[in-house]
Every structure is written in C-alpha cells, then in structure tokens.
C-alpha cells in the first residue's frame, strides 16, 4: 500500500488558516492519551496478577493432605507444587508488566519533548506570518486610500480649472497627494515581498514539521503494537484456554499497521492537498484613468482596454526562459507587456527607477538575491545570499562576476547592491 504523507494533505484553505496543522496536533494529543490508557491497563493488570499469584502461593502452602498415603499422597503433593509454581509465574508476570509500563512512560515523555520543540518552532513562524500579513493588509488599505485621494485631487482640479491655469496651491496639494500615494505604494510593495519570503519560510517549516510528526506517529503506533503483541504473548503462556482468548487478539494485531492507520487518518481528516496561493502585488491604478494625470503613473486609452508595461523584476521573481540557446534565454531579461481589461499593474516609471537603483556598477560587490543554477558552460551557479564581484555588465542583462577565484555569467537582476 502506498503511504500518504502528512505534508501533502494538511494545508489550510487560505493564507492565515492553520486547520491542517491543528488537525495533526490533535492527532498527536490523542496518541499521547492512548499511551496513558495503555499504561493504566498494564498497571491494573500487573496489580491483579501480583495479588492472584500471592494468593495461589498461600493456598499451596496452607493445603493439608498429610493424612493421605501412597500414590494419592504423591499426586496431591505434586498438585500443591504446581499451584505454587503457577503463583510464582504470575508474580513474575506482574514484574514484567511493570517494566513494560516504565518503557511506555519513557517513550511517551520522549515524544512529548520532540513534539513541544517543533510546536514551539511552528508557533513562532505562524505568529510572525499572521502578524506581517495584517501589517501588509493595513499598508494595502493605506495605499488604496492615498491613491484615491491623489486621483480625486487631480480630477477635481481639472473640473474646476478646465479653461484656466491651475493655482499654485492646488498644484502643491496635488503634488503632495501624489507623493504620499507613491510612498504608500512603495511600502505596500516592500511588505508584499517580505510577506512572500515569510510564506516560503513557513511552508518549508510546515513540511519539515509534518515529516517529523508523521515519524513520531509511526513510532508510537509501532511501539504500542509491539506492546500489545508482547502483552498477549505473556498471557498466552499461562494455559491453553487463555491462549485461545488471546489468539483472537493476535488475529487483529496481525492486521495492525502504522501505514494503514496513518492513511485512514489522512483520508478522514485531510484538509487540503496543496498550500494556499501566495499574496501577489496588486497596483491601485485601474483601467480608465485619464492619461497624463497621475504623475509618474501613465496609461493609454485603447477603447475599453488600458495597456500597461511591467517587469517581472518588480515582483522580485526574474524570468529565465529555458531554451537550448543561451542567447535566447538571456534576451528574456527585458520587460514584458501585458494587456488587461481590469486589475492592477506596476507603474512604469517606478519600475525603471527601481531597476536603476538596484543595478550594481562595474567592479563592485553585490549579493545574490535569487539562486541561479548554471545551464551553459560560460555561466556560473550562485546561491542565495552569496557575495560576488561584478567584472562586467552585459547589455543583454547578463553580468560577468567573480567568486572564489571562478568567473562566469549570471542574470543581472538576480543580484542586489550590498
């Protein structure tokens, strides 16, 4: 049977929902309670076995039969001996059960420590993600409000001063509103980028935590399965009649399997097979905005459709076209044009300013913002966070860099100024 995985089946329906993780935690708590129930069962049975064994020894030693003679006397004495042996065996079995209880307690406490450690890590990551998500949504509301104020100021000035020159006070107010809108837009965009980084970190932590929890759950099921099996084997040695009863338990235990249990749990309580969609940048500018009235944000009317230009570098995810030709792939580092009837797009002038601000000059050191794996002989693989020295900037967007004595080409928009 193909095992299902916790990390592929317990995602929430939205960005801040942790229903999948909560379901796994609940399962672990139920498993811990099952360990306690098993311990209590063995303790009570050990107490009963000890009491029963001592009573059998006492009966064997108090029994008479001294008046009998010959073979019947010998038979009776053998009976008393066997009763005492059976009592001693029950006392020994009680000690074995007490040792089993200690093993389960030790195992349960070890799993508790492991679970608490990863729960603490996940709690910190989740709180950080939710907190920054709220901060990002607040910056989005502020961005939309400032953009609306700037648009209203510009449209109001055009309506009241259609045939005459706009007063200086009005122009200053429009300029101030537009600057506030641009600052709000920059803050919102930076928050989106940071939130996406936190989202990726949370997904990786969630997957690794799910793997650990599934391993813990598998170990628990396997341990309890073995404990039950040994428990039955101990009592099967008592007599044939007891063995017949415990044989029925063994038949059920033969079908006990950690994969089957985990699969059943996943099928009944699965909350999702994939993580939620990432939060993407949404520009405030809408289709229908008058041309030339938004300062650095410009748009053209083409019927009911507004044409906008943007670069994937605006969203922090450069595009590399995987083709057989290196030249063809490098040519994709240019901007992409998108036509849309509605929605949001980055501001062209803001895009150009950001690109100029992050382009390193020749000979200076830059940090790798995105990992890149070389696909041609003249390219160089770089890891995120590595520091490289720029030797030459190609007009096609590919930069020659040096690191650890090695040189090669990497996409320029994968690098950032230190």
Cα separation, 150 vs 138, in Å, equals 18
Do 351 and 365 share a domain, yes or no? no
Say if residues 283 and 347 touch (Cβ distance below 8 Å): yes
Residue 243 lies in a domain: yes
Do 251 and 365 share a domain, yes or no? no
Query: Sign of the C-alpha dihedral, residues 22, 260, 4, 212?
Result: positive
Residue 328 lies in a domain: no
The CATH number of whichever domain residue 89 belongs to comes to 1.20.1270.60
Range of the domain at 18: 6-269
Cα separation, 161 vs 138, in Å, equals 35
Cα separation, 106 vs 214, in Å, equals 19
Residue 249: predicted pLDDT: 47
Residue 279 lies in a domain: no
Q: What is the pLDDT of residues 129-184, one digit of tens each?
A: 999 999 999 999 999 998 888 888 777 766 665 555 667 777 788 888 889 889 99
The structure tokens listed for 293 are 């009235």
Tokens 């970190």, located at residue: 201
Residue 140: predicted pLDDT: 92
The structure tokens listed for 389 are 């020295």
Number of H helices, E strands in the chain: 7, 8
Do 146 and 235 share a domain, yes or no? yes
Q: How far is CA 183 from CA 139, 173, 180, 299, in A?
A: 10, 15, 5, 20
Residue 78: predicted pLDDT: 66
- Whether the pTM exceeds 0.85: the reply is no
Strand partners, 402: 389, 407
Residue 113 lies in a domain: yes
Counted domains in the chain: 3
Cα separation, 300 vs 304, in Å, equals 10
Terminal-to-terminal C-alpha distance of the chain: 52
User: Nearest 5°: phi and psi at 301?
Assistant: -85, 125
Cα separation, 206 vs 12, in Å, equals 11
Residue 410: predicted pLDDT: 94
Do 94 and 230 share a domain, yes or no? yes
Q: Which residues of the chain have pLDDT under 70?
A: 68-74, 78, 157-166, 238-256, 261, 281, 283-363
Do 379 and 346 share a domain, yes or no? no
Do 350 and 407 share a domain, yes or no? no
Q: How far is CA 174 from CA 17, 179, 351, 353, in A?
A: 41, 9, 22, 21
Q: How far is CA 288 from CA 76, 299, 342, 348, in A?
A: 109, 9, 9, 16
Residue 178: predicted pLDDT: 86
Residue 327 lies in a domain: no
Do 213 and 115 share a domain, yes or no? yes
Q: What is the pLDDT of residues 360-405, one digit of tens each?
A: 455 689 999 999 999 999 999 999 999 999 999 998 999 999 999 8
**CB atoms inside a 10 Å sphere around CB 178:** 22
Say if residues 88 and 58 touch (Cβ distance below 8 Å): no
Do 166 and 228 share a domain, yes or no? yes
Residue 343: predicted pLDDT: 40
Do 240 and 208 share a domain, yes or no? yes
Nearest one of 102, 108, 130 to 34, comparing CA atoms? 108
What lies within 8 Å, CB to CB, of 113 at 6+ separation is none
Do 233 and 353 share a domain, yes or no? no
Residue 120 lies in a domain: yes
What lies within 8 Å, CB to CB, of 301 at 6+ separation is 291
Chain-centroid distance, C-alpha 132 = 17
Residue 280 lies in a domain: no
Do 262 and 408 share a domain, yes or no? no
Do 122 and 24 share a domain, yes or no? yes
Cα separation, 74 vs 80, in Å, equals 10
Q: Which helix (H) or strand (E) holds 111?
A: helix 70-160
Residue 195: predicted pLDDT: 92
Say if residues 212 and 114 touch (Cβ distance below 8 Å): yes
The CATH number of whichever domain residue 380 belongs to comes to 2.30.30.40
Residue 275 lies in a domain: no
């Amino acid at each position: 049977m193909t095992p299902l995985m916790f990390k592929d089946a317990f995602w929430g329906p939205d960005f801040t929902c942790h229903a999948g993780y909560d379901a796994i935690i609940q399962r672990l708590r139920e498993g811990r309670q099952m360990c306690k129930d098993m311990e209590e069962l063995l303790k009570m049975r050990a107490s009963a076995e000890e009491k029963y064994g001592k009573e059998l020894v006492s009966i064997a030693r108090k029994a008479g039969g001294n008046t009998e003679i010959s073979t019947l006397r010998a038979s009776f004495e053998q009976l008393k001996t066997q009763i005492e042996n059976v009592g001693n065996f029950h006392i020994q079995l009680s000690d074995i059960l007490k040792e089993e209880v200690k093993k389960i307690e030790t195992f349960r406490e070890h799993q508790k420590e492991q679970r608490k450690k990863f729960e603490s890590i996940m709690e910190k990551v989740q709180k950080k993600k939710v907190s920054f998500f709220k901060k990002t949504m607040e910056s989005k509301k502020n961005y939309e409000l400032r953009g609306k104020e700037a648009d209203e100021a510009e449209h109001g000035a055009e309506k009241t001063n259609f045939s005459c020159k706009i007063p200086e006070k009005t122009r200053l107010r429009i300029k101030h509103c537009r600057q506030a809108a641009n600052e709000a837009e920059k803050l919102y965009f930076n928050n989106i980028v940071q939130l996406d980084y936190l989202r990726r970190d949370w997904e990786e932590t969630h997957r690794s935590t799910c793997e650990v929890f599934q391993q813990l759950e598998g170990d628990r099921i396997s341990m309890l399965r073995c404990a039950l099996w040994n428990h039955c084997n101990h009592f099967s040695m008592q007599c044939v009649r007891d063995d017949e009863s415990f044989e029925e338990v063994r038949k059920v235990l033969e079908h006990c399997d950690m994969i089957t249990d985990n699969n059943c749990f996943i099928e009944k309580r699965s909350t999702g097979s994939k993580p939620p969609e990432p939060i993407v940048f949404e520009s405030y500018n809408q289709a229908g905005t008058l041309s030339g009235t938004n300062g650095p944000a410009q748009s053209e009317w083409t019927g009911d459709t507004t044409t906008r230009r943007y670069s994937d570098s605006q969203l922090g995810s450069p595009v590399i076209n995987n083709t057989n030709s290196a030249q063809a792939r490098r040519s994709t580092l240019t901007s992409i044009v998108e036509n849309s009837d509605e929605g949001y797009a980055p501001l062209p002038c803001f895009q150009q300013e950001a690109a100029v601000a992050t382009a390193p000059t020749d000979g200076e050191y830059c940090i790798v913002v995105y990992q890149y794996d070389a696909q041609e002989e003249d390219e160089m693989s770089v890891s995120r966070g590595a520091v490289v020295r720029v030797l030459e900037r190609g007009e096609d967007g590919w930069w020659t860099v040096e690191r650890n004595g090695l040189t090669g080409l990497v996409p320029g928009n994968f690098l950032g100024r230190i």
